Structure formats: structure tokens, C-alpha cells
């Protein structure tokens, strides 16, 4: 059993591949072995997360996910705990493995009750797993609500019930004020939906057990990014080795966004950072950051530079985009640059032509910006973030960084998209996206492949938020930029 952290590198498999892996594993093992292993693993994790628990409420559903719950109940009963099972299903329609486990729970003396106990020390959600086909209703929906409303921990079996294991979309996410600490023990494969969209909130800390069935020829749907390796600087290196970044943005009233991106690029280790402000009345120097070289955006020669374009760009960014798209050696497109491109077929064609000219481009949309680029709604994007990132990457010939909880990074399709596990809601404050754009710019400026540059910068950006001390002042975008590690 393995606890998944932001440093974990692992393949993620969709439901279809998981089903094939499960079938192959089941065929190679004696009848009922997988469910017995799954139930035992649930019982072990339950004892680890709630060692002093007495009453353990196990809510079991109508399929094999419920079977895992019956099996866990039997194991916990044998170990002296008090599991109480509520079953929302029809015994006559249980799949054979689940029926066998139901019998084992009865034989062990487990209590079956029509309603949840009055209180519990741990709740185990074994209602639905990868077989969920529609939103939860009736008793199952009610039980899930009750679990999440209590302060006792919730352990989800395989997948939090109601969560789409492929996409992270959910009809049953705990409401924001939900109290319970959450854990999820997933079997055979790690599933992408646990790590993006609603998945992070629903699953909590994810644990993985391969049930003794490692190794598969199935293609992963995505990967967990893992932590980037440290890249020590050679002693004899000089600023030319770390590249020039030119931030272009900062229309009247929005200079701060461009300066934040510049600060992030600087602290992330770029050799030189220029900031081309679109505001004609902008100051000639930022006295708080004198290292930044402030220029007129139109005067910058981008042919040897990594441009970071769009932060605080407003409508004025449209006028400079044709030249930026044509001349920047490498490019990060953010915010208003993406909005301008979404509305302009000529700019879209120009963007797509960069890949053909071997000029790397990274785009960093949040879900609404992604929706504009894909001509759909933000809800459509959130309904399948992996698919949306893949579409952005292939339609525009770019590395697409789809931001938000479980940021997705998709490239040219030669490798699966990556899901990043660092970051938290401390980043939900204005300007943190500008900082990310600057950090990616600095990574790109060192000539690293665009996919790797984006992956590393996204990980580091989120890691700053994850390691921000609990008692420290709130994380602002300016502080985030100053923490940007090389």
C-alpha cells in the first residue's frame, strides 16, 4: 500500500483500462481473491487512520464496491472493532464476489442495520466505485451527505462514490463546509479523476494498493508529474546561460500583472528579465525591483528571447500579438493574450504555425480562458479537463497548461498528459497565474523542452503554496514570486 504525494511519479489509467486489468488479474487468481485482498486492505487502512475507532459505519452499495465494504466489515469484526453495515442494494442482484463477501460478513457476526448508527468514529464509503453510471439518489445520496457532515474521517473505497474516475467530475462532492477528513484507498490502478476537478476534494489523501497485480501493457491515460530534479548551476556559468525573458503586458491600470510575471521570472533564475509595458505612461524603473529592465513593448527584439505575453495586457495586447507570435524564440501566452487569440482566426493560424517553425509555445489558460479557446463553456472544460488540455495542445500545436485544482499539462501527444499534485487554494488569489507564467518563462529560457519546462514550473509554483508556513501571513502573488525557486 502506497500513500500518493505530490512527489509520486505514477501512471494513471482510465476505467476501461482498469476493467481490462481487473479481468486479467481475476482470471489469473483463484475465485474471490481480489475482493478478499481489497477488503483486507480497506480494513488495514481503516485501522491506520482511526486506530482508536470503535464504531465503524460501512455504507455498502449494490455492486462490487459494496462487496469490498462487506469484506472489510468481516475483517474489522475479526479484529475486535464494531463495524455496522448499511446496505443500499438488492441481495438477489449482487454480483457473485460481492455476494460471497456479504456471506462472510454475516458469518463473522457483523451487524447489519437499516439506518446509519447515531455516531461513528470512522465511516467507510463502499457505495459506488468505477461502476457508477448516474448521480446518487435516495438512501445512497443521503448516507454520503451524512458521512461528510460529521467530523469523523471518511475512507472511500476505490473511488469516492459519485466521482467519475476518468474525469474527476462529480454529482456528489462534499459541500465546501463539509467537516470530515477524507482518505481514499484505490485498487489495481490510480485513476485520473482522483486528482483533478472535484477529485482532490472528494478523495482527500489517496492511497494505492495494486492487490498484488503489478505490471500492465495498458497505455496510461495520464501521469502524475512528480517532483523535478534539482538542476545545480555549473560554477563557470554566466547570465547568458539562463536566457532572456521579456514580459509583455501591463496595459494602463494593469502594470502590476506584468511586473509580477517579471519578478517571478527573475526569482526563478532567468539571466535577464525585460518588461515591455503597454502603458505609455508607465514608470521607467520599478524601484522595488530595479533588476527588471522596463522597456516600451514595441521596442523589444524578441528573436533571441522567451516572451511571456498577456499578463495584464487588456485589449491592447491584440496589437502586439502578431509581432510576438512571429518573432519570439520561445513563448508563454497567458490571460488577455489567450482571450485575444480566442477571438481572432488570424492569430490562431499564426499561433499554430509556430510549431511548424519549431518555435516552442506554452499556453496557460484557466478553465474560462480554455473554454474561449475551445469554443465551449467552462463547465464543459471542467467536465473533462484531460480531454480539454489535449484538445488545446493539438489544436494550437502548443504545450497546454490547464490551471486549477489538479493542473493538467498536455503536449504533442507523444507522451500522455501530466497531472500536477502540488498547489492548494492558497493560490486562489489574484496574480498567482501571472507568477506561474513568469516561472514557466524562466524555465523555457534555459532551452529546456517546453513540456518539461512547464511541468517543472507548475510543480514548483504549487510547492511554494504547499510549504507556506501555517502561521505566516497570507500568500500573496508578490510573495509567491519572490519565493520562486531556480
Q: Is the torsion defined by CA of 244, 392, 249, 481 positive or negative?
A: negative
Binding segment for ligand ADP (CB under 6 A), chosen from 108-116, 134-142, 248-256, 420-428, is: 420-428
Q: Give residue number: closest CB to K ion.
A: 161
Within positions 336 to 395, which residues make up the interface with ligand ADP, using CB under 6 A? 366
**Residue of 40, 57, 41 whose CA lies nearest to 154:** 57
Binding segment for ligand ADP (CB under 6 A), chosen from 13-21, 106-114, 389-397, 398-406, is: 398-406
Instruction: Please identify, using beta-carbon distances, which residue of 94 and 477 lies nearer to K ion.
Output: 94
**Residue of 477, 476, 445 whose CA lies nearest to 258:** 477
Kindly state whether residue 214 participates in binding ligand NPW, applying the rule CB under 6 A: no
**191 among the known binding-site residues?**
no
Within 10 Å of residue 130's Cβ, how many Cβ atoms? 25
**406 among the known binding-site residues?**
yes
Kindly state whether residue 64 participates in binding K ion, applying the rule CB under 5 A: no
Q: Name the minimum Å distance from CB 217 to ligand ADP.
A: 33
Kindly state whether residue 190 participates in binding K ion, applying the rule CB under 5 A: no
Q: How many CA atoms lie within 13 A of 210 on its CB side?
A: 12
Q: Name the minimum Å distance from CB 294 to ligand NPW.
A: 56
**168 among the known binding-site residues?**
no
Instruction: Please identify, using beta-carbon distances, which residue of 116 and 249 lies nearer to ligand NPW.
Output: 116
Kindly state whether residue 404 participates in binding ligand ADP, applying the rule CB under 6 A: yes
User: Taking each helix axis from N to C terminus, what angle separates 64-78 and 96-108, rounded to the nearest 10 degrees?
Assistant: 20
What's the Rg (C-alpha) of the chain? Answer: 25
List the grid coordinates of 229. Answer: 530534479
Kindly state whether residue 300 participates in binding ligand ADP, applying the rule CB under 6 A: no
List the grid coordinates of 243. Answer: 536566457
**Residue of 338, 393, 395 whose CA lies nearest to 366:** 338
Kindly state whether residue 125 participates in binding ligand ADP, applying the rule CB under 6 A: no
Query: 3-state secondary structure string, 267-336?
Result: HCCCCEEEEEECCCCCCCCCCCCCCCEEEEHHHCCCCCCEEEECCCCHHHHHHHHHHHHHHCCEEEECHH
Kindly state whether residue 69 participates in binding ligand NPW, applying the rule CB under 6 A: no
Residues 284 and 287: their CA atoms lie apart, in Å, by 9
Kindly state whether residue 208 participates in binding ligand NPW, applying the rule CB under 6 A: no
**413 among the known binding-site residues?**
no
Binding region: 64-68, 125, 129-135, 158, 161, 257, 312, 366, 403-407, 433-434
**Chain positions contacting ligand ADP, by CB under 6 A:** 335, 366, 403-405, 407, 423-425, 427-428, 430-434, 436, 462
**Chain positions contacting K ion, by CB under 5 A:** 125, 156-157, 161
Amino acid at each position: 500500500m502506497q500513500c500518493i504525494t505530490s512527489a509520486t511519479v505514477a501512471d494513471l489509467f482510465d476505467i476501461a483500462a482498469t476493467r481490462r486489468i481487473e479481468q486479467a488479474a481475476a482470471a489469473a487468481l483463484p475465485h474471490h481473491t481480489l475482493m478478499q485482498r481489497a477488503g483486507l486492505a480497506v480494513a488495514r487502512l481503516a485501522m491506520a487512520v482511526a486506530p482508536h475507532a470503535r464504531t465503524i459505519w460501512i455504507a455498502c452499495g449494490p455492486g462490487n464496491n459494496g462487496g469490498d465494504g462487506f469484506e472489510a466489515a468481516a475483517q474489522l469484526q475479526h479484529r475486535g472493532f464494531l463495524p455496522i453495515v448499511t446496505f443500499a442494494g438488492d441481495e438477489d442482484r449482487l454480483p457473485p464476489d460481492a455476494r460471497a463477501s456479504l456471506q462472510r460478513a454475516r458469518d463473522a457476526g457483523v451487524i447489519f442495520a437499516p439506518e446509519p448508527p447515531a455516531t461513528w468514529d470512522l465511516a467507510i464509503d463502499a457505495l459506488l466505485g468505477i461502476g457508477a453510471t448516474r448521480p446518487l439518489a435516495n438512501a445512497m445520496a443521503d448516507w454520503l451527505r451524512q458521512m461528510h457532515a460529521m467530523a469523523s474521517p471518511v475512507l472511500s473505497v476505490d473511488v469516492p462514490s459519485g466521482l467519475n474516475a476518468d474525469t474527476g467530475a462529480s454529482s456528489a462532492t462534499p459541500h465546501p463546509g463539509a467537516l470530515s477528513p477524507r482518505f481514499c484507498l484505490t485498487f489495481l490502478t490510480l485513476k485520473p479523476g482522483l486528482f483533478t476537478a472535484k477529485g482532490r476534494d472528494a478523495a482527500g489523501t489517496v492511497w494505492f494498493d495494486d492487490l498484488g497485480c503489478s505490471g500492465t501493457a495498458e497505455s496510461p491515460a495520464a501521469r502524475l508529474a512528480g517532483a523535478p530534479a534539482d538542476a545545480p548551476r555549473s560554477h563557470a556559468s554566466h547570465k547568458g546561460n539562463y536566457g532572456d525573458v521579456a514580459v509583455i503586458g501591463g496595459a494602463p491600470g494593469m502594470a502590476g500583472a506584468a511586473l509580477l510575471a517579471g519578478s517571478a521570472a527573475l526569482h526563478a533564475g532567468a539571466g535577464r528579465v525585460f518588461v515591455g509595458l503597454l502603458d505609455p505612461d508607465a514608470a521607467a524603473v520599478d524601484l522595488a525591483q530595479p533588476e527588471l529592465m522596463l522597456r516600451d513593448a514595441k521596442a523589444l527584439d524578441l528573436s533571441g528571447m522567451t516572451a511571456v505575453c498577456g499578463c495584464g495586457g487588456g485589449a491592447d495586447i491584440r496589437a502586439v500579438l502578431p509581432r510576438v507570435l512571429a518573432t519570439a524564440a520561445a513563448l508563454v501566452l497567458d490571460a488577455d493574450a489567450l482571450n485575444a487569440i480566442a477571438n481572432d482566426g488570424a492569430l490562431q493560424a499564426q499561433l499554430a504555425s509556430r510549431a511548424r517553425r519549431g518555435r516552442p509555445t506554452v499556453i496557460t489558460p484557466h478553465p474560462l480562458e480554455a473554454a474561449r479557446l475551445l469554443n465551449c463553456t467552462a463547465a464543459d472544460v471542467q467536465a473533462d479537463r484531460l480531454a480539454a488540455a489535449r484538445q488545446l495542445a493539438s489544436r494550437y500545436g502548443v504545450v497546454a497548461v490547464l490551471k486549477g485544482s489538479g493542473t493538467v499539462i498536455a503536449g504533442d501527444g507523444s507522451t500522455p498528459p501530466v497531472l500536477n499534485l502540488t498547489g492548494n487554494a492558497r493560490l486562489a488569489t489574484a496574480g498567482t497565474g501571472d507568477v506561474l507564467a513568469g516561472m514557466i518563462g524562466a524555465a523555457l529560457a534555459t532551452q529546456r523542452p517546453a513540456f518539461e519546462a512547464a511541468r517543472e514550473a507548475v510543480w514548483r509554483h504549487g510547492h511554494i503554496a504547499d510549504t507556506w508556513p501555517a502561521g505566516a501571513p497570507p500568500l500573496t502573488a508578490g510573495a509567491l514570486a519572490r519565493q520562486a525557486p531556480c
